Amino acid sequence: MRAAFDAPIQASAAVLERILASGHPTLVVFETPACAPCDALHPVLEKLAREFHDRVLVVRVSDAAQGWLAARYHLTCVPTLMFWRGGCERARIHGNAGAAAIQAHLEFLVTGEGRPDPAEGDKHTLIAYFGGNPQSAAPRALLG
């Protein structure tokens, strides 16, 4: 029996590893708090999670500013949307490219046919912190 969710799953980085290891088609959205393009993406993700609920897991990871996570997934901006199937990344979108572009990528993820055109949208450069409290510490690395 396969899991089906009609809303985005809010997951920590530790849980993300287990989700991706399952091999189930998954859209992972890396975001940070107070990111306007990330906030604008939420209604789109809700709609697409309902539409693809029986075919794709939609997962939101909001701690993308953790340095090790940014390094592990080569994140340079938020939001970053990664499309996974069979434990491998199949496509990536930097920024909020809109519902049509994301839907085309999801169709490709499910069918494996008709690779969509590359897409980019509004985004923020990710400032990643390696240790310490991000609110009180100066950034030690700027990925971009």
What pLDDT is recorded for position 141?
47
Contact yes or no for 30/79 (Cβ under 8 A): yes
Catalytic residue among 11, 19, 35, 56: 35
pLDDT in tens, 44-65: 999 999 999 999 999 999 888 7
What pLDDT is recorded for position 139?
47
Catalytic residue among 20, 29, 38, 48: 38
Q: What is the largest CA-CA distance in the chain?
A: 47
Active site residue 35: yes
Helix H or strand E segment including 15: helix 13-21
Looking at residues 24-50, what average pLDDT do you find? 94
**DSSP states of 32-46:** -TT-HHHHHHHHHHH
The CATH fold assigned to 9-142 is Glutaredoxin (3.40.30)
Contact yes or no for 102/93 (Cβ under 8 A): yes
Q: Return the domain boundaries, the chain.
A: 9-142
Rounded distance between C-alpha atoms, residue 48 and residue 66, angstroms: 27
Looking at residues 125-131, what average pLDDT do you find? 75
Count of helices and strands (H, E) across the chain: 4, 9
Four-residue CA torsion sign, 83, 97, 33, 73: positive
The residue among 120, 65, 64 whose CA lies nearest residue 91 is: 120
